[in-house]
Amino acid sequence: MCITVIIYSLSSVVHHMEIIVDDVGSYPLPIHVSRKTFRKAYTLARESIIKGKDIKKNDFLLNNFCKVVIDSFRQKMLAGLDVVNYPQHYDGIEQIRGPIQIAMKKGTFLVEQDRAFFPEVHLIKEEGKRLYQETGKKIALRVSIFGPMELYLKEVGTTPYYEVLQSFAETVKRFAKNSIVNQKYVKTEVISLDEPSFGILNVTADRETIRKVLDKAFDFQGATRQIHLHSTSRLPELLAVGNIDVLSFEYAASPKNIESVSRKMLEEADKEVRVGVSRTDIDSILAELYDRGITKPVAEQIVDKEEEIKKRYLSAIEKFGDRMRFSGPDCGLGSWPSQEAAQLLLKRTVRAIKNKSLETN
């Protein structure tokens, strides 16, 4: 009886809220394209765009970059997401680290403004009209960018050099600004900075330094500004970062994450949250299936059941109420075994969040 009452009261909350369903970014490559081939195509596509070339006129780039990115993006759109991250098939750190390393050869950590861009966003802008005609939907784009602290950890280490951290923040901001699209068929709705190590492995900087670095990285307008975390242990520190709109964290695979932040904290700081409600930790999922004797699982067995996703979603709504603005999968899907399994996860997550009939089950 108690459970029924809780679910009933929650359903009234859900009905009055427009939760935006998005994804975190990465997606498996199609089976016919290897990581090595895509890496080569990505690097070539980037250099070609800098030189002002039409990447669709190069057969190698057309087949191994353009078609791959657009086909994956279309799959994500057709899964029903409200806001769709470009398919991050290329290593997210290397997307920015590569250009930073080129800049370092010139004696700076700053990537030049015209080189701070993602080839995927460039392509989606060009193909926006065609995608709109195919799907009947204007593209609401999400752009995932590795944040300044994560990049600093990979390139420099944990010892903080303030000026260098500021340069990383400025570079990230340039990538963000160049990713904000506002066209007839494509609009960037969300820019998310990924800081997966924050709270686990940290740059040994004080709170004020971290606040200034993140405020600089997020110093842009025109899209909702998310920060995506794997651990919430230091999340309360981020409430002081004025330019962050939404704090995003995993919940499905890390249930304890939800304990570090309260609705009251969010209200006082005027922040919202994005809570991950479907598991994407594929290695653990496969290990659990293997322990149950399922050595060659199909997509149906890998993906969370809709009822499980819905249960987590309702728990998160109960805790955060109207401070929860976004939901979707925990993290990216780049290491998933197939595009079929990844798309099924997105479809089930969308259905579980949007389907009112599941609320009383």
**pLDDT tens-digit map of 48-69:** 999 999 999 999 999 999 999 9
What tokens appear for 138 in the block? 């204007």
Q: For the domain that residue 152 is a member of, what is the CATH number? A: 3.20.20.210
User: How far apart (Å, rounded) are the C-alpha atoms in residues 144 and 22?
Assistant: 11
pLDDT for 356: 67
pLDDT for 2: 41
User: How far apart (Å, rounded) are the C-alpha atoms in residues 267 and 263?
Assistant: 6
Long-range (24+ apart) CB contacts under 8 A made by 261-265 are 261/232, 261/235, 261/236, 262/319, 263/319, 263/320, 263/321, 263/323, 265/236, 265/239
Please give the tally of structural domains in the chain.
1
Q: Is the pLDDT of residue 16 over 50?
A: no
pLDDT for 316: 97
Q: Model confidence at 358, in pLDDT bands (50, 70, 90)?
A: low
Q: Once rounded to an integer, what is the mean pLDDT over residues 328-353?
A: 97
pLDDT for 288: 96
pLDDT for 256: 93
Name which residue leads in pLDDT, 73 or 355. 73
Question: Measured in whole angstroms, how far is the alpha carbon of residue 127 from the centre of its chain?
Answer: 21
Q: Is the pLDDT of residue 360 over 70?
A: no
Q: Once rounded to an integer, what is the mean pLDDT over residues 286-308?
A: 96
What tokens appear for 241 in the block? 């970062």
**pLDDT tens-digit map of 188-211:** 999 999 999 999 999 999 999 999
Write the single-letter amino acid at 1. M
**pLDDT tens-digit map of 66-101:** 999 999 999 999 999 999 999 999 999 999 999 999
Q: Model confidence at 260, in pLDDT bands (50, 70, 90)?
A: confident
Q: Is the pLDDT of residue 34 over 60?
A: yes
| Residues 6 or more apart in contact with residue 266 via CB below 8 angstroms | 239, 247, 272, 273, 320, 323
**pLDDT tens-digit map of 206-236:** 999 999 999 999 999 999 999 999 999 999 9
Domain with 84 in it: 2-360
The H-or-E segment that residue 327 falls in is strand 324-329
Name which residue leads in pLDDT, 360 or 336. 336
User: How far apart (Å, rounded) are the C-alpha atoms in residues 343 and 76?
Assistant: 7
